[in-house]
Amino acid sequence: MLLSWNRLYWNFTNESTKAQFEKNQYWKHAIPTGIKVDQNGVFYAAVPRWTDGIPSTLNYIAMKDGKAILEPFPSWKWNQAGNVDALQSVMGYEIDEYNRMWILDQGKIAYQPSKPGSQKLLLWDLNSNKMIDSIIIPDKAAPYRTSFLNDLVVDNKNGFVYITDSGSGWQNHPIVGGIIIYNMKTKTFRRVLNKQPSTQPLPGFQFDIDTRRVYSDKPVEFGVDGIALSADHCTLYYCSVPSRNLYAIDTALLRDYGTPLEEIDCRVCALGSKGTTTDGMCGDNRGNIFYTMEEKKGIGVYNTRNCEFREIVSDDWMMWVDGVSFDQHGSIIFNHNKLNQVFENPQTQIDWNCPYNFAIWRAYIDKGTKSYLYGC
């Protein structure tokens, strides 16, 4: 365990904002959903605005008086809620092999419809600390009412980005899951696998963690969530939370915008059960797909060469492992955030004095192990 929190803390520069944050206890719904580290060793954390009051949605982690605190990234101005040009709600992002950050802005705050221009893909150069580009994701690709832009993978070799849309942006309404493709050269988007069974929740699916039903009042309803790209960038892997299945599809079909949508629907390959529900995934440079294990509280790996699923690390503290990524030294980085307890209704399961409610973990794999971004 690298770092842990009982709750998240920010380095506020405005005392009034800090006072409101504490008074309204906005921190009770502020959770880290993805931890990544850049080539300079800086750690980042996304904190999506699924409720009001989240100070900044994208952050880097700093130490102050021996405590890990969040600093807004790139700045407070860039995290201004209500400003469609700024970051509204970030859950998924990626740091590529050129030390650039691809930031996926969900656009919506507290599940309100995304405002035009708020859903976007922003590219930031971490070396120069400057924005390279900001590309609006149109309503046609990600409907402003139903979209819930979740995660992404980057293929600089062929010039594409693949995005999962869980389709759960309109609470208590039918899920509209799908995958969005972005062509870097033409700057165009295409939506595929829209409401295809593999991108939808398994009907009526429910599961337990530590013998306790997750969201006991109703089934978990999210569409496609976890996404990973193979080392050769030829295969896209994905899964939804309310299911234990892993799916794959040939990226050549996705890169050709002329491929009929019906053909793409028919070419999905079901790889079998992981034996656990999964949130985040990430491929390495050697043909392995690492995935979070919610029911088994840890990290598993799918070997694409022999089609084998295997558990590699687990710990009772790893309550809702959210995402997995790689450092530059042969280790995976992942975090847990007790999402299932934080958003339980009513919120009675959390002991906010526990120092391990949220944590960042590191597990050594092999000195040659890196992200899929460094594959062939």
How does pLDDT run across 90-106, given as a tens digit for each residue?
999 999 999 999 999 99
224 falls within a domain:
yes
The Cα 207–Cα 280 span in angstroms is: 17
- DSSP structure string for 58-109: EEEEEEETTEEEEEESS-SGGG-TT-TTS---EEEEEE-TTSEEEEEE---S
Q: For 163-183, how does the pLDDT look when each residue is reduced to its tens digit (9 = 90+)?
A: 999 999 998 899 999 999 999
Residue with tokens 């030294």: 329
326 domain-assigned: yes
pLDDT tens digits for range 114-132: 999 999 999 999 999 999 9
Domain membership flag for residue 40: no
Residue 67 lies in a domain: no
As separate numbers, helices (DSSP H) first and strands (DSSP E) second, the chain gives 4, 26
Any domain includes 10: no
Question: For residue 181, what are the CA distances in angstroms to 111, 141, 257?
Answer: 23, 9, 9
CA nearest to 165, candidates 187, 182, 189, 141:
141
* Domain span including residue 171: 97-374
Of all residues in the chain, what percent carry a pLDDT higher than 70? 99
Contact 185, 159 (CB under 8 A): yes
- pTM comes to 0.97
How many domains are there within the chain? 1
AA identity, residue 77: K
CATH classification of the domain holding 300: 2.120.10.30
- CA atoms of 209 and 366, how far apart (whole Å): 30
Nearest Cα neighbor of 242 from 301, 211, 198 is: 198
**pLDDT tens digits, 346-365:** 666 789 999 999 999 999 99
pLDDT band at residue 14 using 50, 70 and 90 as cut-offs: very high
pLDDT average, residue stretch 265-275? 98
Cα radius of gyration (the chain)? 19
Instruction: Indicate whether 376 pLDDT > 80.
Output: no
Asked whether residue 368 is assigned to any structural domain, the reply reads yes
* Sheet arrangement for strand 188-192: 149-155, 160-165, 178-183, 188-192
How far apart CA 27 and CA 267 sit, in angstroms, is 44
The answer as to whether 363 is a domain residue is: yes
Report the pLDDT value the prediction gives residue 348, as an integer from 0 to 100.
67
pLDDT tens track for 181-231: 999 999 999 999 999 999 999 998 999 998 888 987 777 889 999 999 999
In the predicted structure, residue 283 carries a pLDDT above the cut 70: yes
Residue 27 located in a structural domain: no
